[in-house]
Amino acid sequence: MDNTILEIKHLSKSFGTHQVLRDIDFTVSKGDVTSIIGASGSGKSTLLRCINLLENPTSGEILYHGQNVVARGFNAPAYRSHVGMVFQSFNLFNNMTVLDNCIVGQVKVLKKNKEEARVHAMEYLEKVGMAPYINAKPRQLSGGQKQRVAVARALAMDPEVLLFDEPTSALDPEMVGEVLTVMRGLAAEGMTMLVVTHEMAFARDVSNHVVYMNSGVICEEGAPQEVFGNPRKQETQDFLSRFRNS
Amino acid sequence: MDKLAKLVTDIGKLWANYSGAYLTGIQNTLILAVAATLAGCLIGLVCGVLNTIPCSPSDSPVKRFFLKLLRVIIRIYVEVFRGTPMVLQAVFIFYGLPYFTDGAVAFKGMSGIWAAALIVVSINTGAYMAESVRGGIISIDPGQTEGAKAIGMTHVQTMVHVIMPQALRNIIPQIGNNFIINIKDTSVMFVIGFVEFFATHRNIVGVNLLYFPSAVIEMVGYLTLTLLASFGLRWLEKKMDGDDNYELVSEDSLAMSVGTYSHPSRKTPFDEQSKEFRRKDGSRNG
């Protein structure tokens, strides 16, 4: 139980009458790299956004170290600073340079002093290979570069878990590699990650837990060898066969 | 031709006698326009920011009630002051206050007139700016807010550090618009006896009946003011956008790590040598 960071219990989410998530249960432990796969519209991104409270779940509980973050009056900003998120559309702050993007959260949220924050930010910008671009504005970068900065920005907050919402879906094919390289490196260092992805090779080779979602429910989950090598459910087999043929 | 010559002499005559009055008029117009635009922007900023405080169903009912109330009040303010002529607003405030307070509260003397004019133009500008600021804020990609929230920023921090700097940049053209409108529209303040540039014209032609030559001076004067304002604001916009260039601090080690993969003996997949190599090898389509 000690290693458990996030525990999702009976999570449901509806937009109006349309139920997007139904009774989702799963656990994220320290060091886990969990890939969430599934067709578009199956609720993967909504699940991730619920975990970071960017969407309010309709019912259910999300326990962060045993504390229910969905409860009224819970300090959402403090919780979010421990749970980093990388978005499909990068969401870098357009009014700041690359370096300031990685500093502002540390200074304003974690109340670090500026110099300390700068050194810490540089450490991660170097790790993602973006140190040369610290003076650039986001509009001057390519998609892959923006996403690497976004990863550095999230890492600079020293999060316990990092959520990735389709981090490579908005990238040109030749830029996917650079972002996946960074993510592989993080996984190898033992970062706890929850990745919504369409990159099946990444899900199979890098993660130690795979969740297959289908129309708002977890259809199948387990080790990647099991889910990819020997899927039990018909839906999972159909979904995976579409990738094998292409 | 002789008409033009007459116009030039008439303008010369006016300028020789009244240049001081015209310049004082310009000065008053400018002071009022600048002060009222600044105050109006401040009012608009406060209204716009208060208007966009998020109100989610999970908030307490008290907070939701006050947010709704706030929005209704701002809405009424905007609709009333945007929907009535500024001349009438000036009359309402200047004569209305003494009327209701039996003269206890009144705008007395020169300073009273200045105060009334400043209040009316500021409130009027504020009503327009409130909508511009609200528009500026909601025009910023929601992804910016989500990015800020995701690293743990509160609503206030998000607004101060991420949203407002971008929104303000986007509404500078609107601020410029309002400033230029104010330079011209402060002319209606003559109804409460405020002597600005246009009121100067009324006073002068009342004496010598040189309507047209004086109007020419007014036209040139107003156009000069508004053009200068336009140029100034363009310069400010450029300055806020910053430099388009940036310096690389060193080499990017990861960029193109996929695109320019080079095999030791084949070099890059794009050069001639590697094509030949593949053809001989036969195992790849070259």
Mean predicted confidence (pLDDT) in B139-163: 95
Strand ranges of the sheet holding A161-165, from the earlier edge strand across to the other edge:
A83-86, A161-165, A192-196, A33-37, A209-214, A217-222
B153: closest CA of chain A, how far (Å): 6
Cβ of A52 within 8 Å of Cβ of B157? The answer is: no
pLDDT in tens, A193-227: 999 999 898 999 999 999 999 999 999 999 999 99
Range 107-166 of A in CB contact (< 8 A) with B:
108-110, 128-137, 140, 142, 144-145, 148, 150, 153-154, 157
**Per-residue pLDDT at B100 exceeds 60:** yes
pLDDT in tens, B210-260: 999 999 999 999 999 999 999 998 898 888 777 777 777 765 555 544 444
pLDDT band of B7, cuts 50, 70, 90 = very high
Cβ of B252 within 8 Å of Cβ of A176? The answer is: no
pLDDT for position B281: 45
pLDDT band of B272, cuts 50, 70, 90 = very low
pLDDT in tens, A138-178: 999 999 999 999 999 999 999 999 999 999 998 888 889 88
- How crowded is residue B95: how many other Cβ atoms within 10 Å of its Cβ? 15
B141: closest CA of chain A, how far (Å): 9
pLDDT for position B255: 53
Mean predicted confidence (pLDDT) in A48-70: 92
pLDDT in tens, A37-57: 999 889 999 999 999 999 999
**Chain A residues near residue B161 by CB distance under 8 angstroms:** 93, 104, 108
Range 7-36 of A in CB contact (< 8 A) with B:
none
Q: How far apart are the first and last CA of chain A?
A: 41
pLDDT for position B11: 93
**Chain A residues near residue B148 by CB distance under 8 angstroms:** 93
Cβ of A87 within 8 Å of Cβ of B57? The answer is: no
Cβ of A85 within 8 Å of Cβ of B253? The answer is: no
pLDDT for position B102: 82
Mean pLDDT estimate for chain B = 86
pLDDT for position A243: 79
**Per-residue pLDDT at B285 exceeds 50:** no
Mean predicted confidence (pLDDT) in B111-138: 94
**Per-residue pLDDT at B270 exceeds 60:** no
**Chain B residues near residue A137 by CB distance under 8 angstroms:** 242, 246
**Residue A59 and residue A12 in contact, taking contact as beta carbons nearer than 8 Å:** yes
pLDDT for position B250: 65
Chain B, nearest residue to A176 by Cα: B258
**Per-residue pLDDT at B86 exceeds 70:** yes
Chain B, nearest residue to A50 by Cα: B150
**Mutation site, A178, A182, A202, interface B, largest B CB count within 10 A:** A178
pLDDT for position B246: 75
**Chain A residues near residue B149 by CB distance under 8 angstroms:** 54, 77, 80
**Chain A residues near residue B162 by CB distance under 8 angstroms:** 93, 95, 104
Say if pTM beats, i.e. exceeds, 0.90.
no
Give me the residues paired with residue B278 across strands: none
Mean pLDDT estimate for chain A = 92
pLDDT in tens, A16-32: 899 999 999 989 999 99
Is A84 an 8 Å CB contact of chain B? yes
